[in-house]
Structure 1
């Protein structure tokens, strides 16, 4: 079976991103912090073993990219329960200029799936901020039959903002993918071309 690929978050380059907010029909924040940087990352889960994920912020401070290189879900003969479902909980500590707050505006997933007729892949993501009630949630369904790349975009059902009054905020993201039924041979995994699963998260900024 070929390797499949799913992109939950992508690394951001210093150059302007190809997938800008304006190009996607989303409003560009009127003001963004001059400085935004990742000061702490914690990863836990079967989809993100140590050393297999990367997090970056692009030059516009409006795109967050997290890349996973060993996020593989597969079913069928020879697989076990641990292969049918994978997850990764990412805790991200961002530091930025005082007087700003941010939220997750939209999320893109790109990748590759190989699913026979009767199989169904499902990926879900939730976002929240430590100390703030409310979650941003989206789910991505991948029904079979299909074999090839895919691009799925989602806007959060619930928008929550990082707390005001500080220069740091902790964002939690929990991503999970599974395939059912488990008896059929199917795969959602690392792209054999890019070798990564990536999710792009657009950030919306506002002044407090």
Structure 2
């Protein structure tokens, strides 16, 4: 089963050592549908290719790249992607996001600040969880960070649930003399954003 992206990876991984909230072995699940939209991932640019029920690698293309600097249009300073990932899984379970890993590449002049953030929520639910990575210039090279999500937002009990991920990359200030690029594809140093989930029985 394949869809199409090129530089954010979403890995949904069941815990080898379950947290206190988790009960029993995680259920099997599959992706039913993926919908994307926004300046960083127009519909049709998504690619999700997975080989088992534990890892869902999702990649963005080059449009998910923020830039600032002389001659760069203001709307390039922030790129957004709204994803809706419909999962189908064994009845009697629900799942929640519990952490995220960020890894990518940036080139920021002194005075430029970069932010990579994502909000996670389920369709029809009001509660949200969030994770954020901040980078301050001067910075050039690869970065990585593990970010524990402070609040667990659980999917409704049932056999299906749509996980929504609102991701963005942004740079400030705009219109200055400093330059910055964040989440670009540079050789093999692709930006990845791995989201880990935990399961429990309803």
User: TM-score range with shorter-chain normalisation?
Assistant: 0.7 to 0.9
State the superposition RMSD in angstroms: 2.5
1:118 alignment partner in structure 2:
111
Structure 1 residue ranges (4+ consecutive) displaced by more than 6 angstroms after TM superposition: none
Aligned pairs for 1:118-157 (under 5 A) are 118-157=111-150
- In 2, Cα distance between equivalents of 1:60 and 1:43: 21
**In structure 1, what is the equivalent of residue 180 of structure 2?**
186
For residue 82 of structure 1, give the secondary structure of its aligned residue in structure 2: helix
Alpha carbons 1:11, 1:67 under 8 Å: kept: no
Alignment TM-score, normalising by the size of structure 2: 0.85
What's 1:43 paired with? 36
Larger deviation, residues 191-200 vs 90-99:
191-200
Contact 2:169 2:183 in 1 (8 A): no
1:158 equivalenced with 2:144 (yes/no): no
Which residues of structure 1 form unaligned runs of 5+? 1-6
Does the CA-based 8 Å contact 2:30-2:53 persist in structure 1? no
**How far apart are residue 21 of structure 1 and its match?**
5.2
> Which residue of structure 2 lines up, in the alignment, with residue 169 of structure 1?
161
- For structure 2, the residue ranges without an aligned partner over 5 or more in a row are 1-6
Cα pair 1:115 1:146 within 8 Å, conserved: yes
After superposition, give the CA deviation of every residue in 1:64-107 in whole Å (9 maximum; x if it has no partner). 43211221111111111211110000011000111110001211
Give me the TM-score of the superposition, normalised by structure 1.
0.82
The answer to whether the 8 Å contact 1:87/1:175 transfers is yes
Q: Secondary structure at the match of 2:57?
A: strand
